[in-house]
């Protein structure tokens, strides 16, 4: 049960935001564009630091132990502010924030072949 008198931890992290229209694939790559963390919350600054190397929302969530939904909301703000961006492949056809607007690597014959050969040759 949620006690209305006790602020929910998640609710605090996302600064009272209740949602985002951003529908983010948990396994899309995010990268930092602007590493200046001035004015960011602790969680936002953590994310900007993690994204110095490509990372997915799922990994951010696991590393910071922040649920995926909260990570998505934090990322939506950071994208809006130009701190991070989605490293998407394929041709953007509609809004860039919509992951379905990109052609999927899973439909790309060349990438599938690279993936298959890479798996076969994977050192164990």
Partner 1 sequence: MSHQDRVYQPLAASATIPMKILVTGGFGVGKTTLVGAISEITPLTTEAEMTQAGAGVDEGLELRPDKTTTTVAFDFGRISIDEQIVLYLFGAPGQERFHALWERLCQGAVGAIVLVDTRDAEGSFAALDRVERAKLPYLVAHNPFGDEAERWSLEEIRASLDVDPGTPLLRCDARDPAQVREALAALVQHRQNLLEQEGADE
Nearest to 20 by CA among 75, 65, 60, 82: 75
Q: Which stretch binds partner 1 (CB under 8 A): 16-24, 38-46, 77-85?
A: 16-24
Whole-angstrom distance, CA of residue 54 vs CA of residue 40: 20
Q: Report yes or no: 103 and 91 within 8 Å, Cβ to Cβ.
A: yes
Question: Is 54 a residue that touches partner 1 (CB under 8 A)?
Answer: yes
| Residue 42 found at the interface with partner 1 (CB under 8 A) | no
Judged by beta carbon, residue 37 or residue 61, the one nearer partner 1 is 61
Number of residues that bind partner 1 (CB under 8 A): 56
Does residue 110 belong to the site contacting partner 1 (CB under 8 A)? no
Distance CA 1, CA 20 (A): 24
Nearer to partner 1, 41 or 69 (CB): 69
């Amino acid at each position: 049960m949620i006690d209305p008198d006790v602020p929910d931890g998640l609710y605090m992290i996302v600064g009272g935001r209740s949602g985002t229209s951003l529908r983010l694939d948990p396994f899309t790559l995010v990268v930092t564009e602007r590493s200046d963390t001035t004015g960011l919350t602790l969680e936002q600054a953590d994310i900007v630091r993690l994204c110095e190397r490509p990372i997915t929302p799922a990994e951010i969530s696991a590393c910071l132990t922040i649920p995926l939904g909260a990570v998505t909301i934090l990322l939506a703000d950071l994208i809006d502010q130009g701190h991070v961006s989605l490293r998407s492949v394929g041709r953007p056809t509609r809004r860039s924030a919509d992951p379905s607007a990109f052609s999927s690597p899973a439909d790309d014959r060349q990438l599938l072949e690279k993936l298959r050969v890479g798996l076969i040759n994977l050192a164990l």
